Amino acid sequence: MKKKVLEDLHVSGKKVLVRVDFNVPIKDGSITDDNRIIQALPTIKFLIEEDAKVILFSHLGRIKTEEDKKTNSLEVVSKRLAELLDMEVTFVPVTRGEKLEKAINKMKPKDIVMVENTRFEDLDGKKESKNDPELGEYWASLGDVFVNDAFGTAHRSHASNVGIASRLETAAGYLMEKEIRYIGSTVENPEKPFVAILGGAKVSDKIGVIENLLKISDKVLIGGGMAYTFMKSLGYNIGDSIVENDKLDLAKSLIEKAKGKLILPVDLVVADEFSEDANFRVIKYKDIKPYETGMDIGPKTVKQFKKHLKGAKTVVWNGPVGVFEFENFAKGTKAVCEILANMKNAKTIIGGGDSAAAAIQMGYRDDFTHISTGGGASLQFLEGKELPGIESIDDSVDCGCDDSNCDC
């Protein structure tokens, strides 16, 4: 179902509540990566250009004690936003009450107000995280329309996304729209051949994703730590590699169900211990010694992955294929980035989390069709599940005309 987007709303002069994902990393009071703020700028700029009064909501970290409030205030984020926009942003250090209401009532078109961390409401009965009806009602009463641009929390039903959305006219912001267009529509109706690459530490984190991708894709290439549970389930030695012994039966049944679609590494980079400067060597997958740990896919596996990816029209990748945080074991993940970056005729999508971080860190930020901003949310999307934050956005009204570029 198509969702309402920014252009479907009339926002001029209106109080527009916007849920953004400003959950940025902060160290010693300074933001260490402002990518999430940058990603929200197109939506905010559009609303400003359209003369809206923009009221921003976001969470930041987890709030369990009064002490957590001190280190998780959005004030520092509002300052960074003001710098990036080169505009004034009024920060309101509360999540409700007279101070907030006064600040909103004073707003003129093009003004921006940033409300304090929505999770401050969690200290008293988890009101934000449990989608408390009174809180959703109160926040919705502060505005005229709602824009949800926080894909990172779309898999959660919170007061600041679902709570507001169920009470006001709601559209997706540009970032949310992009995630729906690339991940949502790929899962719904992928252009074939469709190849998935899955890595990361564990099978158990991604069972639903593997099952769904096996259904809808032509090949699933497996790398990373999760490969060893699959390999052990086939009876191979895996030395001292990471493994989930309680998932061996599941891994075996996935391989059987896959009927040749699931591709495992044929060679490995193994180390004599799990550390940055461990001794390492490249081996055939069967030659691992009992004390060795599998750290990365080897060059033959890279070649094989490349062969399977040739001619693909859609590629989805989730999870690094090796311990990319250590330079000696980052080559496989870098090679996957390089292969995908050169697939100019394919839709290449990174489904968030560590593989997104790895690709950006390795200099491939602009070489994919889409790098998702959500970790848990994109995994749930890839599982083919509905995301409450997206479901609660209004469906767009079908005008009934046949023109795919229609603007009626």
Residues assigned a catalytic role: 36, 202, 353, 376
Within 8 A by CB and 6+ apart from 151, the residues are: 21, 175, 176, 179, 372, 373, 374, 377, 378, 389
Q: What is the C-alpha separation between 24 and 37, in angstroms, rounded?
A: 8
> Closest separation between CB of residue 225 and ligand AMP, Å?
3
> Closest separation between CB of residue 314 and ligand AMP, Å?
20
366 SS3 class = coil
CB 288 within 8 A of CB 281: no
Closer to ligand AMP at the Cβ: 152 or 322?
A: 322
Among 152, 184, 200, 389, binds ligand AMP (CB under 6 A): 200
Among 153, 354, 357, 393, binds ligand AMP (CB under 6 A): 354
Residue 298, interface with ligand AMP (CB under 6 A)?
no
Closer to ligand AMP at the Cβ: 37 or 242?
A: 242
Residue 351, interface with ligand AMP (CB under 6 A)?
no
- DSSP conformational letter for 163: I
63 SS3 class = coil
Among 163, 294, 298, 389, binds ligand AMP (CB under 6 A): 294
Q: What is the C-alpha separation between 175 and 197, in angstroms, rounded?
A: 24
Q: What is the C-alpha separation between 368 and 316, in angstroms, rounded?
A: 10
At position 26, the amino acid (one-letter code) is: I
Residue 374, interface with ligand AMP (CB under 6 A)?
no
- The H or E element that residue 187 is part of is helix 185-188
Among 190, 319, 352, 389, binds ligand AMP (CB under 6 A): 319
Please give the residues from 236 up to 265 whose contact with ligand AMP meets the rule CB under 6 A. Answer: 242
Closer to ligand AMP at the Cβ: 95 or 355?
A: 355
Q: Which of 376, 374, 347 is nearest to 151 (CA)?
A: 374
Among 173, 224, 374, 389, binds ligand AMP (CB under 6 A): 224
Among 143, 265, 320, 352, binds ligand AMP (CB under 6 A): 320
Closer to ligand AMP at the Cβ: 168 or 371?
A: 371
Give the CB-side neighbour count of residue 389, counting CA atoms within 13 A: 32
Closer to ligand AMP at the Cβ: 290 or 400?
A: 290
32 SS3 class = coil
Residues of this chain that bind ligand AMP (CB under 6 A):
199-202, 205, 224-225, 242, 294-295, 319-320, 322-325, 353-354
